[in-house]
Chains A and B, each alone.
Chain A
Amino acid sequence: MNERYEYNKNLAQMLKGGVIMDVTTPEQAKIAQDAGACAVMALERIPADIRAAGGVSRMSDPKMIKGIQNAVSIPVMAKCRIGHFVEAQILEAIEIDYIDESEVLSPADDVYHIDKTKFKVPFVCGARDLGEALRRISEGASMIRTKGEPGTGDVVQAVRHMRMMMSEITRVGSMREDELYEEAKELRVPYELVKYVHDNKRLPVVNFAAGGVATPADAALMMQLGAEGVFVGSGIFKSGNPAKRARAIVQAVTNYDKPEIIAELSEDLGEAMVGINEQEIKILMAERGK
């Protein structure tokens, strides 16, 4: 791979141990930065509202994204639709720091993902298991996150996806080398990526948790399950006291293995976002783009 791809993987390494927050206005972006977010995701509507509004959901207005870029000094990410490489070109043109080719938006292509190797800016993509993760990486993603089920405040799917990924990594890690060729065929990914996972017992890129994280305990749970950092979408600005909750989640990610600290952080946070259970939702966003 080229040097640019290495620098893009490196930026994800700098985000580790951090929280990336969904924001819809420059004011929210500042609240997120002040609370200790390591990056923000600029979007017009947070996933919970996308879900409520229904209809086709697209890339945000570049002007709105630029407003957020001007408001903060931390990296700014933005979402484009799965397969919509022109939306990605637009985001690259406004010098976004990371593009999320995201199932939260309505997919623009039901067969092909974006050929991310054609871009200089980095991409993060969602995955539910090792095969999806490695397919996105072979297309040029330099960071992976679980899909979870965005906009629900229900962490069950993020947990399922992270556990699946981790157990598959362990399985590949314990295989005989001559079994890796067949595994690559099964996963529909290049042999070299399977070999990397086998040799290093991890993905070749940074792996965050996303989708349904609403509390400091949720964030710490994902970290203990093996996430290297956390995306929080609707969980913060759909809650009673966003600034306080954001701060608590940032500290919970740093102290994810210290229950006595997370206990303190969980006090008096006000109303958490009202969740929707997986059985109650009409659209399973995680089913988009495999």
Chain B
Amino acid sequence: MKIGVFALQGAFAEHEHSLDRLGIQWKEIRRLADFTDDLDGIILPGGESTTQGKLLREEGLLVPVKEAILGGLPVFGTCAGMILLAKKLSNDENVYFDAMDVVVRRNAYGRQLGSFGATLDFKGIGSIPAVFIRGPFVESAGKGVDVLAKADGNIVAVRQKHMLATAFHPELTDDLRIHTYFSEIIRGKL
């Protein structure tokens, strides 16, 4: 298995570290030439969604990656990655991959003083540690979307077929179970 980690901006090295610990092969994607067809899945890391979205457009990655995702390429987005995957943002006009049937609120917990950690009950996994850094949450999810976790009543982890998104950062903790969960989606076991 080989996973493409988007490395335009943000905390991509942390995802690579998690994949290393699981013994999963990865490669960095910065430009169109890196987005090869030998990838079994892709990870969209945390960072600034406006920065990443702009670079995706300028590197010519936005459309081909969107088509690949809509064509069934497994994808896992954390924080900014969730924003990039959403069909609609409630407080921003931008839409990027337009792939997951969710409405996402950016910076839903406010500025850095609102960043927090929590223990969540994640469907199919159990209790997991979650770190939210200027994080978003899902305001509403469509029918085909499976809600996997909530924090204080707000939806913070969702899955729609081969697409997985969390508002928090599993890559910032030592817990590898969500990365494992994603690899199981790729293997077709989940």
Binding site for B on A (CB under 8 A): 3, 6-8, 10-11, 13-18, 33-39, 69, 73-76, 92, 95-98, 120-122, 247, 250-251, 253-255, 258, 261
| Contact A255/B48 with A8-B112, A14-B79 known, Cβ cut-off 8 Å | no
Contact (Cβ within 8 A) A7 B9: no
CB distance from A275 to the nearest CB of B (A): 27
Bound Cα distance from A76 to B51, whole angstroms = 14
| Contact A251/B112 with A7-B131, A10-B133, A14-B48 known, Cβ cut-off 8 Å | no
| Contact A14/B10 with A7-B131, A74-B48, A95-B110 known, Cβ cut-off 8 Å | yes
Residue contacts A-B, CB under 8 angstroms, 22 given:
A6-B117, A7-B133, A11-B112, A11-B115, A11-B134, A14-B46, A14-B134, A17-B7, A17-B12, A18-B51, A37-B51, A38-B9, A38-B47, A69-B111, A73-B91, A73-B107, A96-B111, A97-B112, A121-B113, A247-B58, A250-B55, A255-B31
Query: In terms of DSSP, what is the predominant structure of the interface of chain B?
Result: loop
Contact (Cβ within 8 A) B92 A250: no
Contact (Cβ within 8 A) B133 A18: no
Binding site for A on B (CB under 8 A): 7-14, 30-31, 46-48, 50-51, 54-55, 58-59, 79-80, 91-92, 106-107, 110-113, 115-117, 131, 133-134, 169, 172
Contact (Cβ within 8 A) A18 B172: no
Which residues from chain A contact B31 at a C-beta distance below 8 Å?
A: 255, 258, 261
Bound Cα distance from A276 to B101, whole angstroms = 53
Contact (Cβ within 8 A) B112 A18: no
Bound Cα distance from A147 to B99, whole angstroms = 43
CB distance from A112 to the nearest CB of B (A): 25
Which residues from chain B contact A36 at a C-beta distance below 8 Å?
A: 9, 50-51, 54-55
CB distance from B41 to the nearest CB of A (A): 21
| Contact A7/B51 with A16-B10, A73-B92, A122-B112 known, Cβ cut-off 8 Å | no
**Please, which residue of chain B has its CB at the minimum distance from the CB of A19?**
B51
Of B13, B50, B110, the residue contacting A16 (CB under 8 A) is B13
Contact (Cβ within 8 A) A95 B47: no
Of A7, A92, A250, the residue contacting B117 (CB under 8 A) is A7
Contact (Cβ within 8 A) A13 B110: no
**Please, which residue of chain B has its CB at the minimum distance from the CB of A95?**
B111
Which residues from chain B contact A251 at a C-beta distance below 8 Å?
A: 55, 58
Contact (Cβ within 8 A) B111 A97: yes
CB distance from A91 to the nearest CB of B (A): 11
CB distance from B62 to the nearest CB of A (A): 14
Contact (Cβ within 8 A) A74 B131: no
Contact (Cβ within 8 A) B47 A16: yes
Bound Cα distance from A8 to B113, whole angstroms = 9
